[in-house]
């Protein structure tokens, strides 16, 4: 019988897994594999960490869903307080959702609301998710967009420095020149709500942003009242040696997008922003 399961997702291994513990997974025929993928950069405390499993089990006996428009409860406030402690300076307010794509979309909605401006700038090689707006903001490969046009408008792409260029100073200068040109030719500063950047390009090749590039970009945001959104869905929660990748650069984003490692595989995401 043919499978009733959609074949939308490809699989990079043929492994049929039965369970996972820590950084190991066990296949249905009993073979153990060291899991270098960690889900998809998601299982930050490993597979089925006993504390995580116990917390889920306990919570399931109290409430599985307690809709925030209907009730008040004691779950989100302590989480927001904890996030305020670990996120970069200035990030004080939190909004929660289920996935990274919802949060990158929410970040753009917030930036448009706050600035009353219609456009956003993304950078070549970006990956911000698979929903329509997130696809429009994704430029790492055509496969993520192909067959889904027309995608939402108002998204403009600026160059990201090539990490393999021999003269990195010249490469950064050239990328910033491209950004300035975009602000002159396609989206004027007073039409630009935000620039959204992965401080370390994820799907686009695992490339940390050169410091001079990220500083140049933030400088332009500050000069023009454009919000700087850090998409830390993949780079956040300790994956670069600091809690968030922006901490390596000494910069303070206006909005930070979090998902993946925030909940070690449980579908959860957060947007953090200034008051």
**In the complex, which residues of this chain contact ligand PLP (CB under 6 A)?**
99-101, 104, 127-129, 198, 202-203, 231, 233-234, 259
Residue 68's H or E segment, with its range, is none
Q: Which is nearer to ligand PLP, 97 or 173 (CB)?
A: 97
Q: Which is nearer to ligand PLP, 47 or 128 (CB)?
A: 128
Q: Which is nearer to ligand PLP, 138 or 192 (CB)?
A: 138
CB of 217 to ligand PLP, least distance (A): 16
CB of 106 to ligand PLP, least distance (A): 12
Strand-pair partners of 32: 26
CA distances from 220 to 128, 199, 204, 216 (A): 22, 16, 23, 6
CA distances from 163 to 142, 166, 196 (A): 21, 8, 19
CB of 267 to ligand PLP, least distance (A): 8
DSSP assignment of 123-134 equals ETT----SSHHH
Q: Which is nearer to ligand PLP, 161 or 183 (CB)?
A: 161
Q: Which is nearer to ligand PLP, 191 or 247 (CB)?
A: 247
Tokens of residue 60, six digits: 């399931």
CB of 202 to ligand PLP, least distance (A): 4
Residue closest to ligand PLP (Cβ): 100
Q: Which is nearer to ligand PLP, 183 or 262 (CB)?
A: 262
Q: How far apart are CA 116 and CA 190, in angstroms?
A: 9
CB of 70 to ligand PLP, least distance (A): 25
Cβ atoms of residues 138 and 126 within 8 Å = yes
Using the CB atoms, write b or e for 143-160: b if 16+ within 10 Å: ebeeeeeeeeebbbbbbb
Residue 47 sits at φ, ψ, to 5 deg, of: -75, 135
Q: Position of tokens 């904890």? A: 82
CB of 139 to ligand PLP, least distance (A): 12
């Amino acid at each position: 019988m043919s499978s009733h399961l959609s074949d939308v997702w490809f699989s990079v291994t043929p492994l049929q897994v039965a369970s996972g513990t820590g950084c190991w997974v066990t296949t249905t025929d009993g073979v153990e594999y060291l899991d270098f993928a960690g889900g998809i950069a998601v299982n930050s405390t490993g597979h089925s960490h006993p504390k995580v499993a116990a917390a889920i089990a306990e919570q399931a006996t109290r409430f599985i869903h307690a809709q925030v428009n209907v009730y008040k409860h004691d779950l989100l406030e302590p989480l927001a307080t904890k996030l305020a402690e670990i996120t970069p300076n200035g990030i004080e307010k939190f909004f929660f959702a289920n996935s990274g794509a919802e949060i990158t979309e929410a970040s753009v909605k917030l930036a448009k609301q706050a600035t009353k401006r219609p456009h956003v700038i993304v950078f070549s090689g970006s990956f911000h998710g698979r929903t329509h707006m997130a696809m429009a903001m994704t430029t790492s490969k055509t496969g993520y967009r192909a067959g889904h046009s027309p995608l939402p408008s108002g998204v403009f792409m600026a160059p990201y420095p090539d990490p393999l260029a021999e003269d990195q100073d010249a490469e950064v200068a050239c990328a910033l020149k491209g950004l300035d040109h975009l602000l002159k030719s396609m989206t004027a500063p007073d039409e630009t709500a935000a620039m959204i950047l992965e401080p370390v390009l994820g799907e686009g090749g695992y490339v940390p942003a050169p410091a001079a590039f990220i500083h140049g970009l933030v400088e332009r945001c500050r000069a023009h009242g454009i919000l700087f959104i850090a998409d830390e869905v993949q780079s956040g929660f300790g994956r670069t040696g600091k809690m968030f990748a922006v901490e390596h650069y000494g910069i303070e984003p206006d909005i930070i997008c979090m998902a993946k490692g925030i909940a070690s595989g449980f579908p959860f995401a957060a947007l953090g922003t200034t008051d």
